[in-house]
Amino acid sequence: MAYHVPPLNILIVEDEALLAMDIEAMILDSGHCVIGEAASLRDVLALDLPASPDVAFVDIQLDGSSGLDVCTLIQERWSATAVVFVTANPKKIPDDFCGAHGVIPKPFSRAGLMSAMRYIEDGICDPPPASAQPSSFLASPKLARAWA
């Protein structure tokens, strides 16, 4: 299995511009690179990224589309990308998480997103993560078993 190497390439799929900007600032502060931003499935389809994303932060309810559909597209286009839903509606995520790694529930704090980012980085770069799962990140059942 190929592991990722920091700094990670991050894709943000969020239709609220201010929130996308906040997430981008936090990602940059954590030492990673934002290689693309999109607000819908159509925007993700149109992306021409300089590299494959290591992690994609995806909102569930997007402008005119679903984050679940975006997750499927990302997995088809960039199979090694870890998808993490960022949503105020975690109950809309199916039990299998559509193959996503987990969810960061909204609203989240800066500290919460940063600790989730460190945990995800640790897990995809040198699994399993050495640290305990932060309360700001809910792992999918499949990932929880793999990283236990």
Chain-centre distance of CA 2, in angstroms? 18
What distance in Å separates the CA atoms of residue 74 and residue 72, rounded to the nearest whole number?
Answer: 5
Give the DSSP letter of residue 136: T
Distance of alpha carbon 6 from alpha carbon 11, whole angstroms: 15
- Block residue for tokens 């931003």: 37
Q: Mind listing the pLDDT tens digit for each residue in 49-89?
A: 999 999 999 999 998 899 999 999 999 999 999 999 999 98
Q: How far apart are CA 39 and CA 16, in angstroms?
A: 8
146's CB contacts (< 8 A; 6+ apart) are: 127, 128
Q: What mean pLDDT do residues 107-111 have?
A: 95
pLDDT score, position 125: 94
- For the domain made up of 9-146, give the CATH fold: Rossmann fold (3.40.50)
* H/E element, 55: strand 55-58
How is the chain split into domains, by residue range? 9-146
